[in-house]
Amino acid sequence: MAKKDIREIIGKEFFVFDGGFGSQLQLRGVPAGTNSAEINVDRADLVCAIHTDYIKAGSTCIVTNTFGADKFHITDEKMRVEQITAACNNARKSADEADKDVYVFYDMAPTGKLLKPLGDLDFEDAVDAFKDQVLLARDLVDGFIIETMTDLYEVKAAMLAVKENTDKPLFVSVTFQENGNMLTGASPEQAVALIEGLGADVVAVNCALGPNELEPIIMRMLNTARIPMLVQPNAGLPKFRNGETYYDVGPDEFSDYIKKFVEAGISGFGGCCGTTPDHIRACCEKTKDLKVNFKPAEEVARVCGTTTLVEFRNRVIRCGERLNPTGKKKMKLALQEGRLYDIVDEGLLQVEAGANVLDVNVGVPGIDETAVMVELITNLQEVIDLPLQIDSSNPDTLEHACRIYNGIPLINSVNGKKEVMDAVFPIVKKYGGTVIGLCIDEDGIPPTAPQRFEIAQRIINEAKKYGISHKRIVIDSLVLTASAQQKEVIETAKCVGLVTDNLGCPTALGLSNVSFGLPNRPLINRTFLVMALYAGLKLPILNPLDKELMGAIDAFEVLNYSDVNAEDYISRHMNDVVAKPGAAPAPGAPSESTGSADAELDGKSALFKSIVKGQKHQAVDAVKAMDIEPLAIVSDHLVPALDKVGRDYDKGIIFLPQLMVSAETAKLVFDEIKDKLTSNAGPSKGCIVIATVQNDVHDIGKNIVKVVLQSYGFDVVDLGKDVPPEVVCDAVREHNPIAVGLSALMTTTVVSMEATIKMMKEQGLTTPTFCGGAVVTDDVVKKIGGDYYAADAMESVRICEKLLEENT
Ligand code: B12
């Protein structure tokens, strides 16, 4: 076993990881594509030789050869146990033979499956798949590294599996696309927030990009990380030659970058795809005279949703209060009747109105609070990417909701009661949240500001015992009702000031309470809001649909010099129409706007909007209510809505999760109308084979083509999506169709279309082909040797009818 505890040296001495493994195996004669986990058993000598080469090159941390050794990839349990154990033993043997301290890390990589709602893997099943590996490896290694993760939700599952089953050091490494985001849309800052929040010892980045492309991402991570950072780039971007992948950043250039990153503050380095022992050797050589320059970033409270990060800095954070049944009959009923989609709609309205965080509370009698909270959060995070504030007085509900939450939650709340702090702080610690601390204790809400301040101090001191800093506690001084406790309203604002000035933590207030029982409640709310903002309030919990209230925050931020150059104020209010004092508002005049969320949605049908927003239930209702021809629904609503989604994805306005939810919504809409389309089909006119080509999973367009052809009396053999050329050829031989329809939606899969057409020709299959899909044009079809181009489903009918005529 290694001598020094890794945690003692993290952030003080460099930890040098190893480099690429697969290419090293190939160098030693193992063919590419061989199951690399089996090698641990069959060719332990080769695996040990690679570890030893890296150690000799300078690595002080080596990782087990277990990339993807989970129960989805290696389904036979006996083999999995054997291979994982052998991998750990191989690495340990090489480490023990070294003449220096070498640490063995168990390597955990993505399961290769997408978690719900993007895919079909349950969050807890993902946790189990990682736990299975942790249990096998925990006694054989010095630490764990979770790496090449592209989805933060899966990172969370893997981290929980490690933290719940071992206290060994944990390094967590994520992978970014060239656009600077993870595949599921998370930013570098968000990744750091989640990984730190869930208690990793080191945050890391690896794979996909070379050091040059990673540089800006690394700098952004360093700027925000409070724990040390490890960097393992590829040896450049992958390039292709003669059907093989290669990387062309050599050891010298690679190590120049690593030196630069070390100077900027990383604490460890290594390499990923394409790197070799020579890369590691060069890095060690160039950094040998440097010292670790790790400086933790300033601490700040952070919460994140699926793709958004909200930090408590100098700006006001608007928390939407409307997902809370207190005083709301309609919401109470929706919860009791299980109409969660209505509640999700209310959430979307608040997002459009400019909320930054949404409070979620499901406390009504007669329901299972925990189950409903979990279900609602699951539904909300499918379509809303803002951070959620999980609001419950039941610790069990908080725990379950925080667990399935995809991000770092804002937890509402803890208070000065000892038993509440005992129950809630462990949850905050475990799930990395920021928590609201209410100034109330066993004796109720004290009347004066100094007494409430004293409770705030008590909460903060108790949190420290759990390792939760005061920066992660948002103190709520509690708003009382002006009509009943008028004298005490000002005490709340004073307490906000005391906390802001003396405790250094942010503050929250639920505004609307203040005006109960008084006329013109918005006026009271607005005035109180401004008083509290001036005292330092950072998180007003309010109704974002109240435009004047939201406008007051915009104005305050100008006057307070936090909206520098009034940029946000101007963009949100430049079109406001202000009535002259005494004049009635102009009829039809636009009211003060807080900025339209998406002008492209204006004037569009309910169906269009609900596909764009991914509101499944509403989309189905909308299509049912439409009395127009089914094909027009496709061409005038469904396709344009998906086009908009595609454009937004392209611009980086939305990310893969939203793209997928919109696609699923479009599918449901189509399922709703397809029966109407096929009902007029007469006797069969003949057979058509259709397929989406290999490596392409887009099948909505192809499915439309299928149903429309069926409605015109053709028998359609649908081979599905991601269909290899040979499967198309086999189907042509089997069914002898009139024509073959091929669909490709990506530039990168037009080659598969070409390969399919080529293979048909090579095999002497002369059946005509007709091709379509967003990236296909007449020219493309000519170039790749196809026979016909079809711009849409109707065109495919014309082509097939023409071919039918020619055949008869
Ligand atoms: C929905 C969608 C998805 C869904 C697909 C769900 C499904 N089951 O189909 C999901 C979320 C899974 C997805 C994934 C991805 N997507 Co996507 N996706 C889209 C989107 C928004 C809409 C496509 C669609 O269904 N349109 C509606 C249908 C009805 O239109 P259509 O397919 O063009 O079909 C019509 C005609 O073209 C024609 N037609 C189509 N096929 C055929 C076939 C024949 C024989 C005939 C006659 C006619 C015909 O008739 C149809 C009806 O009129 C497009 C953007 C866009 N506007 O196209 C991006 C888009 C196609 N996706 C894109 C990308 C990059 C991806 C991902 C790589 C994302 C990622 N980073 O992981 C993955 C790819 C996974 C893979 N290996 O295939 C890019 C492709 C860029 C490019 N030029 O190469 C696009 C253009 C988005 C963008 N702007 O970046 N995507």
> How much is the average pLDDT of 441-446?
95
pLDDT of residue 520: 92
CA distance 555 to 558: 5
Q: What is the mean pLDDT of the chain?
A: 92
> How much is the average pLDDT of 27-40?
79
- In terms of Cβ atoms closer than 10 Å to its own Cβ (0-12, 13-18, 19+), residue 702 is buried
pTM: 0.79
Pocket test for ligand 1, best of 631, 745, 795 (most atoms within 8 A of CB): 745
**Quick check: helix, strand or coil at residue 577?**
coil
pLDDT of residue 679: 67
**Is the confidence at residue 153, as pLDDT, over 90?**
yes
Residue 475 and residue 456 in contact, taking contact as beta carbons nearer than 8 Å: yes
Q: How far is the CA of 662 from the centre of ligand 1 (A)?
A: 12
Which protein residue's CA is at the shortest distance from atom 59 of ligand 1?
Answer: 646
pLDDT of residue 651: 83
The token duo for 563 is 């909206």
Q: Is the CB of 371 inside a 6 Å radius of any atom of ligand 1?
A: no
pLDDT of residue 708: 82
CA distance 697 to 749: 10
Q: What is the DSSP letter of 327?
A: T
Reported as a pLDDT band with limits 50, 70 and 90, residue 681 is low
> How much is the average pLDDT of 695-714?
87
Q: How far is the CA of 561 from the centre of ligand 1 (A)?
A: 45
Q: What is the DSSP letter of 242?
A: T
Q: What are the strands, taking DSSP E only, across 655-745?
A: 686-692, 714-718, 739-743
Q: Is the CB of 773 inside a 6 Å radius of any atom of ligand 1?
A: yes
Q: Is the CB of 792 inside a 6 Å radius of any atom of ligand 1?
A: yes
What percent of the chain has a predicted confidence (pLDDT) above 90?
Answer: 77
Taking the CB of residue 551, how many other CB atoms lie within 10 A of it?
A: 18
Q: Is the CB of 649 inside a 6 Å radius of any atom of ligand 1?
A: yes
Q: Is the omega angle on the peptide bond into residue 117 within 30 degrees of 0, that is, cis?
A: yes
CA distance 489 to 469: 29
> How much is the average pLDDT of 680-689?
80
pLDDT of residue 595: 40
The token duo for 560 is 């307070």
- In terms of Cβ atoms closer than 10 Å to its own Cβ (0-12, 13-18, 19+), residue 230 is buried
Which protein residue's CA is at the shortest distance from atom 38 of ligand 1?
Answer: 792
Q: Is the CB of 178 inside a 6 Å radius of any atom of ligand 1?
A: no
> How much is the average pLDDT of 137-165?
97
Q: How far is the CA of 717 from the centre of ligand 1 (A)?
A: 21
pLDDT digits (tens, 9 = 90+) for 311-365: 999 999 999 999 999 888 899 999 999 999 999 999 999 999 999 999 999 999 8
Reported as a pLDDT band with limits 50, 70 and 90, residue 582 is low
Q: Is the CB of 656 inside a 6 Å radius of any atom of ligand 1?
A: yes
Which protein residue's CA is at the shortest distance from atom 57 of ligand 1?
Answer: 643
**Is the confidence at residue 673, as pLDDT, over 60?**
yes
Q: Is the CB of 541 inside a 6 Å radius of any atom of ligand 1?
A: no
Residue 515 and residue 524 in contact, taking contact as beta carbons nearer than 8 Å: yes
Q: How far is the CA of 719 from the centre of ligand 1 (A)?
A: 17
Least confident stretch, 248-252, 457-461, 508-512, 659-663: 659-663
Q: Is the CB of 474 inside a 6 Å radius of any atom of ligand 1?
A: no
Atom of ligand 1 nearest to the CA of 643: 57
**Is the confidence at residue 590, as pLDDT, over 50?**
no
Taking the CB of residue 297, how many other CB atoms lie within 10 A of it?
A: 16
> How much is the average pLDDT of 572-599?
61
Q: How far is the CA of 676 from the centre of ligand 1 (A)?
A: 24
**Is the confidence at residue 35, as pLDDT, over 70?**
no
CA distance 271 to 57: 12
**Is the confidence at residue 627, as pLDDT, over 50?**
yes
Atom of ligand 1 nearest to the CA of 662: 1
Q: How far is the CA of 23 from the centre of ligand 1 (A)?
A: 34
Q: How far is the CA of 806 from the centre of ligand 1 (A)?
A: 32
pLDDT of residue 33: 64
Place of tokens 């109330």: 440
> How much is the average pLDDT of 527-550?
97
pLDDT of residue 594: 36
Reported as a pLDDT band with limits 50, 70 and 90, residue 587 is very low
pLDDT of residue 156: 98
Q: Is the CB of 438 inside a 6 Å radius of any atom of ligand 1?
A: no
Centroid of chain to Cα 543: 27
Place of tokens 């509900």: 397
Q: What is the DSSP letter of 676?
A: H
Q: Is the omega angle on the peptide bond into residue 392 within 30 degrees of 0, that is, cis?
A: no
CA distance 230 to 205: 7
Residue 568 and residue 554 in contact, taking contact as beta carbons nearer than 8 Å: yes
Strand partners, 174: 149, 205
Which protein residue's CA is at the shortest distance from atom 27 of ligand 1?
Answer: 639
Q: How far is the CA of 669 from the centre of ligand 1 (A)?
A: 16
Q: Tell me which residue of 728, 736, 744, 729 sits closest to 783, measured CA to CA.
A: 744
pLDDT of residue 584: 55
> How much is the average pLDDT of 104-125?
93
Q: Is the CB of 702 inside a 6 Å radius of any atom of ligand 1?
A: yes
Q: Residue 444: which residues within 8 A CB-CB, separation 6 or more?
A: none
Q: Is the CB of 697 inside a 6 Å radius of any atom of ligand 1?
A: yes
- Give the chain's largest Cα–Cα span: 94
Pocket test for ligand 1, best of 659, 712, 775 (most atoms within 8 A of CB): 659
Taking the CB of residue 535, how many other CB atoms lie within 10 A of it?
A: 22
Q: Is the CB of 529 inside a 6 Å radius of any atom of ligand 1?
A: no
Q: Tell me which residue of 130, 11, 125 sits closest to 80, measured CA to CA.
A: 130
CA distances from residue 790 to 629, 732, 787 in whole angstroms, order as listed: 21, 20, 10
Q: How far is the CA of 351 from the centre of ligand 1 (A)?
A: 27
Place of tokens 């695996």: 47
CA distances from residue 405 to 38, 300, 360, 389 in whole angstroms, order as listed: 36, 21, 12, 10
pLDDT of residue 589: 42
CA distances from residue 501 to 397, 425, 498, 505, 530 in whole angstroms, order as listed: 33, 24, 5, 9, 18
Q: How far is the CA of 601 from the centre of ligand 1 (A)?
A: 21
Q: Is the CB of 774 inside a 6 Å radius of any atom of ligand 1?
A: yes
Q: How far is the CA of 700 from the centre of ligand 1 (A)?
A: 8
**Is the confidence at residue 771, as pLDDT, over 50?**
yes
Helices 449-465 and 418-431 pack at an angle, to 10 degrees, of 50
Q: Is the CB of 776 inside a 6 Å radius of any atom of ligand 1?
A: no
H, E, C per residue of 631-661 = HHHHHHHHHHHHHHHHHHHHCCCCCHHHHHH
Atom of ligand 1 nearest to the CA of 663: 1
Q: How far is the CA of 378 from the centre of ligand 1 (A)?
A: 26
**Is the confidence at residue 794, as pLDDT, over 90?**
no
pLDDT of residue 389: 98
Q: Is the CB of 651 inside a 6 Å radius of any atom of ligand 1?
A: no
- In terms of Cβ atoms closer than 10 Å to its own Cβ (0-12, 13-18, 19+), residue 487 is exposed
Q: Supply angle C-alpha 39, 44, 46, rounded to 5.
A: 85
pLDDT of residue 515: 92
**Is the confidence at residue 592, as pLDDT, over 60?**
no
What percent of the chain has a predicted confidence (pLDDT) above 70?
Answer: 96
